[in-house]
């Protein structure tokens, strides 16, 4: 079993080496496509060994293998339902066992959108349960599973994908449930940052509108309104989020915890 070493901050250290994840074990949920896939690739490029966790995207197995070959690191794909606490605990423990007994970084990224419009018109409480379970409950399950390993080691970084929707109310689409779930993610992680201050860091990234498969159902006329309300007048790319996640995952952020980094092209600024 590998010994996990805790970085000791020192004035005068070169900055670029702090962003290295060389030899670290990283877990990314929802990493078969979109933001999660970009983050997993970024961590591998930085030298990390990455567990790709996915639910329904069979391409993940192939993408993990391709990433491992491209960057010369260890990458494996694991299928699980993030809404099952038992499955999450079992899978995280299995990853730690497979990756030499350590866990350095966990990114709770799995999520689904609200697609039913105004809640009075929705009449679909099953969708409510699915969104809250996937977007909020899974973060709790992930934190519970990862936190035990971080506490055992005395170090670790937990990063959750929140959303600018946890800060504002989006227009023109109605998505109260999604907004509430993401606001919950932000506050849960701030609270965990205080609970875990002695052994791990906890932060969130809040993307704005990002051009990924998750928004493929949105009509072009709605996206046009998004662009008009975004100062940079466009959607972001998953690639433009890599730096935010790498910062929180790496030793570049050893004094950063309880923070939320909004990456939204200026949407929340006005």
pTM of the predicted structure, to 2 decimals: 0.95
Cα–Cα separations (whole angstroms), residue 151 to 53, 94, 135, 194: 22, 17, 24, 14
Task: Rounding to the nearest 10 degrees, give the CA dihedral for residues 86, 88, 89, 95.
Answer: 140
Mean pLDDT by 10 residues, the chain (270 residues): 67 94 98 97 98 95 98 98 98 97 97 95 92 98 98 98 98 96 98 97 98 85 95 97 98 98 96
Regarding the domain delimited by 16-263, which CATH topology (the fold level of the hierarchy) does it fall under? Rossmann fold (3.40.50)
Per-domain residue ranges for the chain? Answer: 16-263
Per-residue confidence (pLDDT) for residue 3, from 0 to 100: 56
Question: Any idea which residues carry the catalytic annotation?
Answer: 163, 178, 182
């Amino acid at each position: 079993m590998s010994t996990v070493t805790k970085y000791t901050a020192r004035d005068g250290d070169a900055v670029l080496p702090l962003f290295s994840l060389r030899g670290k074990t990283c877990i990314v949920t929802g990493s078969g496509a979109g933001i999660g896939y970009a983050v997993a690739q970024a961590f591998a490029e930085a030298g990390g060994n990455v567990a790709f966790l996915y639910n329904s995207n069979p391409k993940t197995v192939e993408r993990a293998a391709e990433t491992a070959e491209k960057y010369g690191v260890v990458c494996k794909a694991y299928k699980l339902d993030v809404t099952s606490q038992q499955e999450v605990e079992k899978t995280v423990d299995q990853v730690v066992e497979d990756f030499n007994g350590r866990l350095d970084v966990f990114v709770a990224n799995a999520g689904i959108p609200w697609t039913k419009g105004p809640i009075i018109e929705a009449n679909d409480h099953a969708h409510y349960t699915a969104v809250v379970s996937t977007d909020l409950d899974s973060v709790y399950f992930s934190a519970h599973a990862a936190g035990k390993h971080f506490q055992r080691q005395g170090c670790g970084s937990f990063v959750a994908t929140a959303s600018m929707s946890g800060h504002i109310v989006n227009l023109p689409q109605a998505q109260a449930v999604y907004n509430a779930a993401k606001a919950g993610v932000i506050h849960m992680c701030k609270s965990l940052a205080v609970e875990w201050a002695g052994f791990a860091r906890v932060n969130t990234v809040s993307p704005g509108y990002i051009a990924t498969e998750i928004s493929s159902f949105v009509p072009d006329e709605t996206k046009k309104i998004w662009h008009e309300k975004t100062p940079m007048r466009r959607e972001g790319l998953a690639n433009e989020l890599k730096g935010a996640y790498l910062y929180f995952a790496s030793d570049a952020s050893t004094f950063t915890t309880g923070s939320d980094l909004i990456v939204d092209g200026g949407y929340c600024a006005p």
